[in-house]
Structure 1
Amino acid sequence: MKKTSRQKGDKGEELAVHFLQQKGYHIEARNWRHGRFEIDLIARKDELLVFVEVKSRRHLAFGFPEQFVSEAQAGRIMEAAEAYIFERAWHGNIRFDIIAIKLVSSGQHLIEHFEDAFS
C-alpha cells in the first residue's frame, strides 16, 4: 500500500522529534497552530526556544528537502512563532531551524539539521 503525504510527513516529524531529543532538546509542541499557520515542532534547549520546520523527501530529483521552505512559508512560520511567544510570555532567545530528512530506503534515512535557517 502506498503511503499518503500526511503519513510520510508524520514519519518525518517522528524522526525529527527523536533526533532533537537525542541532542538534548525538549519538545514543547507538535503541529502548533495559529489561525491557518502551523509550526511543525517547537523545541526548547536551556534558554533557547526553537521553531522547527520538518521537510522530508523520498526522491531528490527536484531538490533537497531544505530547499522546499519558501520565503512565504518562512514568513508564516515567523508570524505563528510571534503568537506563540506572546501567548507564553517568552523573553529568551529564539531560533528558526529546518530539519531535512532524506528517506533513502525502507527504514533508512539521513537527517540534516540546519540551525538558524531563516529569520
Structure 2
Amino acid sequence: MTPGGASARRERGRRARRRGHWAERLCLWFLRLKGYSIVAHGHVTGRGTGAGEIDIVARRGRLLIFVEVKIRRQRSQAFGAISLNQRQRLSRAAAAFLGRHPEFSEHAVRFDAILLAPWRWPCHLIDAWREDA
C-alpha cells in the first residue's frame, strides 16, 4: 500500500458524503416545488433492522413516498447503482419507518428514485420499483 493510501480513501469518502448531502438537499427542494410535503430525510431506521437509511420520505395526500437519491457522472449510471439488494433494504427501511409512525398506516406506499448528474435536471422516476418486484 502506498503511503497516505488510507488518508486518500478517507478524503474520497468525505467528498462523496458531501456530494450526497448536497444532492439530497437539492432533491428536497425539487420535491417541494413539485408539491410534495417532506416527512423526513436522512432517516436512519436503527441498528438491527438491516435497513439503514432512507434518503427522503415525502407525502402527497394519502400517498407516502420513499425516495432514493443517486448522483453519478451520468444518470444511466445512477439508475444502475440502485441494486436489488438496495431496493430490498429500502423496503425493510420503509416497513421499519411505518412501524414507528402509525399515523401513516393508512397511506399507500410508493418507491421513487431521483437521479442526478452534473449539469442535468434531476430525473424523478415515479414508482421506480415495486416492493414485491
Tell me, yes or no, whether TM beats 0.5. Answer: yes
Aligned residues with identical type, % of pairs: 35
Q: Which runs of 5+ in 1 are unaligned?
A: none
Deviation beyond 4 Å, 4+ runs, structure 1: none
Count of aligned pairs between the two proteins: 112
Alpha carbon RMSD of aligned pairs, Å?
1.8
Identify, as 1 or 2, the structure richer in strand.
Answer: 1
Contact 2:62–2:106 (CA<8 Å) still a contact in 1? no
Residue of structure 2 in register with 1:16 after alignment:
27
**Offset of 1:118 from its aligned partner?**
1.4
Q: Provide the C-alpha distance between the structure 2 equivalents of 1:73 and 1:46, rounded to a whole number of angstroms.
A: 27
Q: Provide the C-alpha distance between the structure 2 equivalents of 1:67 and 1:22, rounded to a whole number of angstroms.
A: 26
Indicate yes or no: 2:65 matched with 1:54: no
Residue of structure 2 in register with 1:75 after alignment:
88
| Aligned equivalent of 2:101, options 88, 99, 107 | 88
**Offset of 1:63 from its aligned partner?**
4.2
Q: Provide the C-alpha distance between the structure 2 equivalents of 1:63 and 1:116, rounded to a whole number of angstroms.
A: 17
Pair member with larger Rg: 2
Q: Provide the C-alpha distance between the structure 2 equivalents of 1:85 and 1:15, rounded to a whole number of angstroms.
A: 25
Q: Which runs of 5+ in 2 are unaligned?
A: 1-11
| Aligned equivalent of 1:99, options 114, 117, 126 | 114
Amino acid at match of 1:66: F
**Offset of 1:70 from its aligned partner?**
0.4
Identify, as 1 or 2, the structure richer in helix.
Answer: 2
